[in-house]
Every structure is written in structure tokens, then in C-alpha cells.
Amino acid sequence: MAHAAPRSGRTAERAGPADLFGPRAHRAAKLAVPVLVGLVFGYWAAANRRDAGPVTGWNLLFGFLTALVFALVFMALLALAPKLRREMHAVAWAAFSGTAVGFLFNQADGSVLRSTALGLAVAAGVFAVMFYRFYTHEDAAGHRTG
């Protein structure tokens, strides 16, 4: 029967979590991810508004403006939300998510009341998940643990 060879204590002390991407990749991702998600969101909103009709210049403009606003708000949220206390951090993500889903549903000719109800339901779920995550990964002062 084979056994693993013992490791020296010196090697185990140096071992830490592996960082797959360097600082340059993280900086690029802070810009690329919101832009790509914004483009998907803008396309989705424009497709919902178009409702299988022809693609027009106004539809393209609507999609790109929606993508721009979504990406800017997403980048602002990524930059500012970690500085908030965990409760407000979770509220910020919940408000962003609920608003985005409600807006998409409204573009698909959903009623305002159903769009609001869906947005509130999504926001409540996102708040619960994000609050749990921040509560278990931060101390009371808001500093990340582990």
C-alpha cells in the first residue's frame, strides 16, 4: 500500500492560496466583466423591447444606452459597495439586482405591478444570500476574515 511522503514543516508554512491571475489580470477584469455583462444586459433589454420585430436604429441605440448605464452602475457598485457596512453592502446588491430584473421584465411588456413584484422578490432573495455571505465572511467592523 502506498503512502504519501511526509512534507517538511517549512514547505507547509509557505504554501498559501494560489492566485491564478496576477494583479494585471484583476485590473483588466474589473473593466472587462462589467462591460461584457452590460452588453449582454443591453442586448437582452433591446430584444425584449423589440419583441421579435425588426431591428431598428432606435432599438440599437436603446440597447447600447442600456448597456452603458448598466456597466457604469455595475462598476460603481463594485468600487463603492465594499466600503459599506455588510447590511448596506447587501442592500446595494439587492437593489441593483432587483432593479435590473424588474427593468428587463418591464421591457417584455410586463405590467408595472408585476415588474415591481418580481424586482422586489429578486431583491429579497439577493439580499438574503448576500447578507449571509457578508455576515459569514466579515467581522463586525466589516473586515474580511480568513
Q: What is the pLDDT of residues 95-131, one digit of tens each?
A: 999 999 999 999 998 899 999 999 999 999 999 999 9
d(CA 119, CA 102): 4
The verdict on 91 and 146 lying in the same domain is yes
The verdict on 97 and 132 lying in the same domain is yes
The verdict on 101 and 111 lying in the same domain is yes
Query: Where among 40, 61, 83 does a domain terminate?
Result: 83
11 in any annotated domain: no
The verdict on 110 and 122 lying in the same domain is yes
Residue 114's identity, in one-letter code, is R
- Tell me if residue 53 falls in helix, strand or coil: coil
Q: Which residues pair with 144 in a beta bridge?
A: 138
The verdict on 65 and 117 lying in the same domain is no
HEC secondary structure over 108-146: CCCCHHHHHHHHHHHHHHHHHHHHHHHHHHECCCCCECC
Mean pLDDT of the chain: 87
Q: Which domain holds residue 29?
A: 24-83
The verdict on 67 and 121 lying in the same domain is no
What's this model's pTM, rounded to 2 decimal places? 0.79
The verdict on 110 and 64 lying in the same domain is no
Query: Where among 54, 83, 112 does a domain terminate?
Result: 83
d(CA 75, CA 77): 5
Q: Judge whether 45 and 62 are in contact, CB under 8 Å.
A: yes
**Domain count along the chain:** 2
Query: Where among 58, 83, 108 does a domain terminate?
Result: 83
132-135, long-range: CB within 8 Å, 24+ apart, which pairs?
134/86, 134/89, 134/90, 135/86
49-53, long-range: CB within 8 Å, 24+ apart, which pairs?
49/107, 49/108, 51/108, 51/109
Q: How confident is the model at residue 17 (pLDDT cuts 50, 70, 90)?
A: low
The model's pLDDT over 52-104, given as tens digits with 9 standing for 90+, comes to 888 889 999 999 999 999 999 999 999 998 888 888 999 999 999 999 999 99
